[in-house]
C-alpha cells in the first residue's frame, strides 16, 4: 500500500503513482474554528495519502463524535466514512475491518472520545489489533461541548470556563503500550514534518498504530500555560528522534545505514529510520523502555514526541480468526449457505 510520489508533469499538475493530483485526496471544506489543530492534522493526512499513492477506495475513515471526529469529512472524499457514536468508533471499526479484510482504516478520535467515554473500547480494540491508524487529536478538552476538561487534561490546570482540573491525566500512549499496541507515537499538530513521517510509518504498519497528537483547541485551551497549546508545544516539544519513512522501493537508502540511526523494517518492506535526538537511551522496540521514558517525562513534565514503541510481532484479528482471503462482505451464496445435503445430514443426525 506504500509507494511514493514521483513527480510526473502533466500540465503543471504533480501526479502520484496512481496518476492522481493532490486535490483528489481532499475532503469537504472544514467547519472547524480557523486555526484548530485538527485541521492541520487533516492536511497532513491528505499530503501523506497522496504521497504514498494510497488507493482511497480501500481506506475507510472512521470516527466517534467531537470536533476531532468531524475531521474525516475534511479529507479523502473518495473514501467511505463513518462518523459513528461518541466513544464507540473502535467497535464499529472492528466490525468494518472484519467484514472486509482488504480495507485499512484511518480513524480519528478525540481525547474525550477516547480517554473518557471511550477508554474501555480503546483498550479492547488494542487487544484485538486491527489494521488501522488510530489518530487521537488530543487537546485536553471537550471542544464541541465548549471546553470542559477531558481525562487527558493536566492535573491542576486552570481554564476560565472549566475551572481547575483536580484529577491526574490519563496518558493514552502509556495505556496503549500496556494494552500491547505495537505502534505507539506521540506528536504535535504544530510539527507537520514529524506528523507526516509518523503517519506514513503508521499507514504501513500491520496492526493498530496509535498516534496521540497534541492538537490545540484555539477556542478553549490555547493559553501559553496549557501543555496542549501551540505556544507551549512550540516552546517545549522535545523530539526523541528525527524520523524518516523510507518506502520499500528505495532499497539503496536502507543499505547505507548510518551510525546513530536505528532502522526498523516493516513487514512488507518499508523502513522507519529513527535518528536519536535526545540523550536518554530509549529503545523504541522495548516496551519496558517505552514505559520508562513516558513515566519519567510525565514526572519531569516534559513534552516528548516521536515513536515511543514499535513491535510488529502480533497478528491482526483477521489472521487470529483464520479468515478466508476474500472479504467476508462479498462472499457469494455458495460460500455462505451450506448445501441442501448438509442440512439433510444434520436433520437426520437429530432424529
Ligand X SMILES: Cc1ncc(C[n+]2csc(CCOP(=O)(O)OP(=O)(O)O)c2C)c(N)n1
Residues in contact with Mg ion by the rule CB under 5 A: 110-112, 139
Give 10's Cβ-side CA count (13 Å radius): 11
Query: Cβ 215 to Mg ion, closest distance in Å?
Result: 8
141 binds ligand X (CB under 6 A): yes
Q: Which residues contact 142 (CB under 8 A, 6 or more apart)?
A: 66, 110, 112, 148, 149, 150
Q: How far is CA 2 from each of CA 91, 193, 198, rounded to the nearest angstrom? A: 26, 18, 13
Q: Does 180 bind another protein (CB under 8 A)?
A: no
Q: Under rule CB under 8 A, which residues in 9-28 are in contact with a second copy?
A: none
117-139 burial, b for 16+ CB within 10 Å, e for fewer? bbbebbbebbebbbbbbbbbbbb
State yes or no: residue 288 binds a second copy (CB under 8 A).
yes
> DSSP H helical segments within 15-108, as ranges?
37-51, 67-70, 89-99
Q: How many binding residues for a second copy (CB under 8 A)? A: 28
Verify binding: residue 139, ligand X, rule CB under 6 A. yes
6, 13, 146, 265: residue in contact with another protein (rule CB under 8 A) = 146
| Burial of 140 (C-beta count, 10 Å sphere; 0-12/13-18/19+) | buried
Question: Does 86 interact with another protein (rule: CB under 8 A)?
Answer: yes
User: What 8-state DSSP symbol labels residue 289?
Assistant: H
Sign of the C-alpha dihedral computed for residues 92, 38, 207 and 100 taken in this order: positive
Closest to 212 measured CA to CA, from 172, 162, 153: 172
The cell for 138 is 488530543
101 near a second copy (CB under 8 A): no
CA pair distance 202, 182, nearest whole angstrom: 10
**Which of the ranges 4-12, 111-119, 210-218, 230-238 carries the binding residues for a second copy, by CB under 8 A?**
111-119
Q: Does 208 bind a second copy (CB under 8 A)?
A: no
Instruction: Quote the least distance from Cβ 219 to ligand SF4, whole Å.
Output: 4
**Alpha-carbon 30 to chain mean position:** 20
Q: Output 23 or 324, the one with its CB closest to another protein.
A: 324
Please tell me the distance from the alpha carbon of residue 85 to that of residue 118, in angstroms, as a whole number. Answer: 10
Only one residue has cell 501551540, namely 230
- Within residues 286-345, the interface with another protein by CB under 8 A covers 317-318, 321-325, 327-331, 333, 335-338, 340, 342-344
User: How far is it, in rounded angstroms, from Cα 65 to Cα 78?
Assistant: 21
Q: How far is the CB of 137 from Mg ion (least distance, A)?
A: 7
Q: Toward another protein, which CB reaches closer, 70 or 196?
A: 70
- Report the residue number, 147 or 284, with the smaller CB distance to Mg ion: 147
Choosing among ligand X, ligand SF4, a second copy, none, which partner's interface includes residue 95 (Cβ < 5 to 8 Å by kind)? none
Residue 159 or 318 having the CB closest to ligand X: 159
Residue 44, interface with a second copy (CB under 8 A)?
A: no
User: Closest separation between CB of residue 75 and ligand SF4, Å?
Assistant: 15
Contact set with a second copy (CB under 8 A): 116-121, 123-124, 127-128, 151, 166-168, 170-171, 174-175, 178-180, 287-288, 291-292, 295-296, 320
Contact set with ligand X (CB under 6 A): 65-68, 86, 110-113, 137, 139, 141-145, 150
Amino acid at each position: 500500500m506504500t509507494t511514493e510520489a514521483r513527480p510526473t508533469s502533466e500540465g503543471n499538475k504533480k501526479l502520484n503513482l496512481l496518476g492522481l493530483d493532490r486535490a483528489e485526496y481532499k475532503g469537504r471544506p472544514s467547519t472547524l474554528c480557523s486555526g484548530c489543530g485538527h485541521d492541520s492534522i487533516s492536511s497532513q493526512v491528505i499530503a501523506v495519502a497522496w504521497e504514498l499513492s494510497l488507493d482511497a477506495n480501500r481506506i475507510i475513515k472512521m470516527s466517534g463524535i467531537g470536533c476531532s471526529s468531524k475531521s474525516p469529512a475534511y479529507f479523502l472524499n473518495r473514501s467511505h466514512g463513518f462518523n459513528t457514536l461518541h466513544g464507540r468508533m473502535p467497535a464499529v471499526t472492528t466490525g468494518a475491518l472484519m467484514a472486509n479484510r482488504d480495507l485499512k482504516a484511518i480513524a480519528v478520535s478525540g481525547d474525550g472520545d477516547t480517554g473518557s467515554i471511550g477508554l474501555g473500547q480503546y483498550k479492547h480494540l488494542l487487544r484485538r489489533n486491527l489494521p488501522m491508524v488510530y489518530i487521537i487529536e488530543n487537546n485536553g478538552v471537550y471542544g464541541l461541548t465548549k471546553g470542559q476538561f477531558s481525562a487527558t487534561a493536566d492535573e491542576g490546570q486552570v481554564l476560565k470556563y472549566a475551572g481547575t482540573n483536580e484529577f491526574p491525566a490519563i496518558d493514552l500512549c502509556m495505556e496503549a503500550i500496556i494494552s500491547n499496541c505495537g505502534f505507539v507515537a506521540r506528536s504535535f499538530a504544530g510539527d507537520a514534518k514529524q506528523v507526516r513521517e509518523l503517519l506514513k510509518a503508521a499507514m504501513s504498519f500491520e496492526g493498530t498504530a496509535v498516534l496521540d497528537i497534541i492538537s490545540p483547541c484555539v477556542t478553549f485551551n490555547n493559553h501559553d500555560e496549557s501543555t496542549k497549546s501551540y505556544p507551549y508545544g512550540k516552546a517545549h516539544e522535545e523530539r526523541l528522534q528525527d524520523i524518516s519513512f523510507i518506502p520499500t522501493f528505495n532499497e539503496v537508502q536502507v543499505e547505507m545505514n548510518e551510525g546513530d540511526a536505528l532502522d526498523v523494517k516493516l513487514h512488507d518492506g518499508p523502513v522507519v529510520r529513527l535518528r536519536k535526538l535526545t540523550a536518554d537511551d530509549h529503545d523504541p522496540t522495548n516496551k519496558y523502555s517505552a514505559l520508562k521514558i513516558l513515566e519519567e517525562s510525565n514526572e519531569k513534565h516534559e513534552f516528548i514526541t516521536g515513536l515511543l514503541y514499535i513491535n510488529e510481532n502480533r497478528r491482526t484479528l483477521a489472521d487470529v480468526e483464520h479468515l478466508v482471503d476474500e472479504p467476508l462482505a462479498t462472499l457469494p451464496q455458495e460460500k455462505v449457505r451450506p448445501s441442501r445435503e448438509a442440512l439433510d445430514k444434520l436433520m437426520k443426525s437429530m432424529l
